[in-house]
Amino acid sequence: MEDIINLTEKDIKELSFKQQLELLERINEYFQNERDDINIEDALEIYKKALEILTYAREKLVTLKEEKSMIDEKYEKIKSQFADL
């Protein structure tokens, strides 16, 4: 988990959406496993990092959806031009 705690904002932004989700899955597994040895300070840092990763993953998803919509619009426009031939 130390690698996740040490991620910078820049590091997180540069990750692909898939990589961001993989990190969130690791964090989720960390908290789901019942452990007696959890360090509360580390757990709080990991939780904060999860929120940061989640924020950037959501932004990336919105951007990807917008990009897909633009591509769909271009496709429909081209498709209608061919239908007119």
pLDDT in tens, 18-53: 999 999 999 999 998 867 788 889 999 999 999 999
pLDDT in tens, 14-27: 999 999 999 999 99
pTM greater than the 0.85 cutoff: no
Distance, CA of 78 to CA of 16 (rounded, Å): 30
Task: Specify the pLDDT at position 36.
Answer: 76
Domain count, the chain: 1
Task: Specify the pLDDT at position 81.
Answer: 86
Task: Specify the pLDDT at position 83.
Answer: 79
Residue 2 in 3-state DSSP? helix
Percent of all residues in the chain with a pLDDT value above 90, rounded to a whole number: 79
Find the domain containing 60 and state its range: 2-83
